[in-house]
Every structure is written in C-alpha cells, then in structure tokens.
Amino acid sequence: MKNIVLFNKAGAFAENKDIARDIRVKEIIPALNSGEDVVLDFEKVEAATQSFVHALISDVIRKFGSAALDRMSFRSCTPTVKKIIGIVTDYMQESLGPE
Amino acid sequence: MKLYIPNSAFLGNIDPFLKSFDPSGTESLEITANNKWISIHPAVLAMIAALGVTVDPANIRCQKFEARSSHYLARMGLFKTLKIPFNVPFVEHEPAGRFIPITRIRGSDELSRFIADMVPLLHLEPEQARTIGYIISELARNVIEHAEADHGAFLCAQYYKKSNSIRVGIADTGVGIKQTITRSHPADTDLEAIRLALRPGITGTTNREGGTEQNAGAGLFFIKSIASINRDFFVIYSGNALYKLLKKPAGVRPRLHADPFDDRHSQEENLPAWRGTVVGADITLDQTAEFSALLDAIAGTYKAAVRERVQARYRRPKFI
C-alpha cells in the first residue's frame, strides 16, 4: 500500500497542477502499475481546486477505468475536498461511459 | 492605443469604458481620465496594466490625474507597473485587509507563492479566503497555461467595506479565447468562443469528453457558478466580445446552467478588439454561499452536461 501525503507536496491549499501531475506520474501510476494500492492522504489540506484534483486523478481513471477507484483511497478529506473529488470522479466515469 | 477612464467603471457599467478603448497604434498608449474623480473596478486597472507593459514606457502618455484619484492608482501600483513617473506625494497604506495591488504572474510556482501570501492580506474568514483563492488560482492558471501571454497575467483585487465585497480583475494580452478554444471546438465568433469556454467540460486542449490529463475545461464554469449562486457580476471580455453575467434579483433562487446564455446575462459583439482576455468578478461576502453547498449544485449541473453531450454522440438505430 502506497501512502501519499498531499500536504507535504501541495500545502494547505492544493491548487498547483504541476505538483499534481508530478504526484500522478511519479507516484500514483507507478504504484498502480506495480500492483500496489494507493492512499491519497489529504490530512491538513484545507481546500483543493477542481483543476488540481483533475490533474491528480483524471488520467488514472482514464488509464485504469473506474476500477482505479477500487485501488485508490482518499483519506482525511474535508467535506469540500470530498465533494470536489466526487465531481471529478463522476464526470470522468460519465465520460468513459459504461464499462 | 488610447484608454479613457471614466469617473465610474465597475462591472455593471463597464461597457462605455470598453467602447472608448482604441486599440490602434500598438507602439504607444495614451491614458486620459475624467478630470474630477475616478472610481474603477480592479478589472479596469488590470487591463490598463496589461496593455501598458506592452508599450515602451517612453511612449506612454498619461494625463495628470486629479490628486485623490491618482493616489488610488498609485497605491494600486499602476505607475510602478507601467514604469512611468508619479511625483505627487501620498501616504502609502498598509495593504492588509483592503486590497491586492496590481501583480504580474508568469509561472505556476509564482502563482502558488502569490496565493499563499495573498490570503492573509485580505483578512477574510477562512471560507471566504478559500473562495477568493480558488477564483484567482483558476483564472491565473488559465492565463499561464492557455493564453500564450508574453507578459503574463495581471491581477488585482479590492475589498469594499460598504458592500462587504471583493472585486477581482485579471487581464492578459495573449491570444484570446477564440484562438485557444477553436483548437478543439468550432466557434465562428469571439462570443461563441466565450460561450463554449464557460460550458463545463469544454477545453481548447481536446474535444475528448473528460478533457486531457491536465485540463478538464471546468475552471471558468466553476467561477461563473460561484458568481451566479452569490447573485454577483461576472464579466469576460476577449476579442470583440463581452459576456456579462448580471446580478440576480433577491428572492429568486439562483439556478446553475451549463449554457451561459441560459443565465441572466448581457452580451456585446462589436467592441474594440482586446487581444487577449479580461475577466472581472464581484464576490459579495455576506452572500457567499457555503462552498460545499455550491459544489453540490455544480456537481449536478456538470454531470448532466457531460451526459447530455455523450448521449448526443450515441449512434441512433436505423428504422427502415
């Protein structure tokens, strides 16, 4: 299980998409490719933009399908961060269509 | 180029200011203003700054402003940004809790540092600070990623105590919305391009549903939604077109729409061409809806819009 602490990389307001891309490309996708599950730990992240969350996980959902959400968990999210993650996961699955 | 600053230019009455803009003669800039008093939205200041830095300071002619007005322009950093002299003595106010002076943002890390520094300056409640930070992040990242603006994004903001509101403006002199959006979606006019850019899930980077790995095409829709739910003004000016989300009357429960033309709005198509994009937003803090409630409304509208587009591409059965 790979645990990724977002606050250490993106701070309390997670908005920098370049950082999100680095986490996705260097940590999330390699972990999933090697069979590890991933926990994205949002402890101390007070807010995140939709753009940040999109850059973090949309391509993971596109590459691995909605099954990515069985292998990727989101820990300690605030209610607004939860909702933004929900928006991104919803529209990505909607855009993929039924699997 | 010529800019005339009227005595009042806020989002509700910005149209005469835009109509008076003369974009011809890009090697020089003449700035004139109402002689008595000027009171302007940060979007107007951001425009003047964005335009001014494209011109050699030696070729900027700026009329002598009435003292109090010029103090305001000076403390917002206009003369410093344009590198033109300002010799009237004035007391520089501590910006904390009142305004964000004109700031140029050219890169991603610079934007992150700016947002971290900016939030304490405004002395807002955490929920309100997050909303403002959200708006500035999404708007400035649009410029950094899409505008191809050599001079970057110019932004500023002002807190208005009487209305308890924050007004934000951001301007660039990049390629404009039509050039970026038509890389992936057809749009014949600047106004049609703005309309597309405001729809959820439409980005110039791809016509694929769900966007690219870095772009969803949702940033402007989110910001328009924040303004819409709060019943505030929101303006986009790019090329020769202006889209203005109008204030919603009190008592009417605001609804979000995927198509910005379904919102209560005004539009113009024959304005002097602004090469680049200007965005202005007012956020009334008394009315700022709980961000999480806003996200519920956005989620429903967004999902329905994506589903509608996907279904529109379904193959239909042939009945013979």
Pairing of strands B241-245, B265-268: antiparallel
Average pLDDT on B6-15 reads 95
| Closest in B109, B145, B216 to A50, CB measured | B216
Higher-confidence residue of B55 and B294: namely: B55
Smallest CA-to-CA distance from B227 within B249, B248, B201 is with B248
Residues of B in contact with A48 (CB under 8 A): none
Average pLDDT on A61-87 reads 94
pLDDT in tens, B168-182: 999 999 999 999 999
Please tell me the distance in Å from A86's CA to the nearest CA on chain B: 8
Residues of B in contact with A92 (CB under 8 A): 210
> CA–CA distance from B160 to each of B11, B44, B144, B164 (Å)?
14, 16, 28, 5
In a domain, B318, yes or no: no
Residues near B146 by beta carbon (within 8 Å), at least 6 away in sequence? B174, B180, B204, B205
Name the domain count of chain A: 1
Average pLDDT on B17-32 reads 96
In a domain, B74, yes or no: yes
In a domain, B73, yes or no: yes
Least confident of A66-80, B30-44, B60-74, B274-288: B60-74
Is the CB of B138 less than 8 angstroms away from the CB of A49?
A: yes
Higher-confidence residue of B32 and B125: namely: B32
pLDDT in tens, B183-229: 999 999 999 999 999 999 999 999 998 899 999 999 999 999 999 98
Asked whether B83 and B52 are in contact (CB, 8 A), the reply is no
In a domain, B320, yes or no: no
A-side interface with B, Cβ within 8 Å? 11, 13, 15-18, 21, 24, 46-47, 49-51, 54-55, 58-59, 62, 79-80, 83-84, 86-88, 90-92, 94-97
- Its domain, for residue B62, covers 2-312
Please tell me the distance in Å from B85's CA to the nearest CA on chain A: 36
CATH code of the domain containing B69 = 3.30.565.10
Predicted confidence band of residue A95 (pLDDT cuts 50, 70, 90): confident
In a domain, B195, yes or no: yes
- Its domain, for residue A46, covers 2-96
Name the domain count of chain B: 1
Tokens 């940004």, located at residue: B81
pTM of this structure: 0.94
pLDDT of residue B89: 63
pLDDT in tens, B284-300: 887 655 677 888 889 99
In a domain, B218, yes or no: yes
In a domain, B317, yes or no: no
Smallest CA-to-CA distance from B265 within B254, B273, B276 is with B254
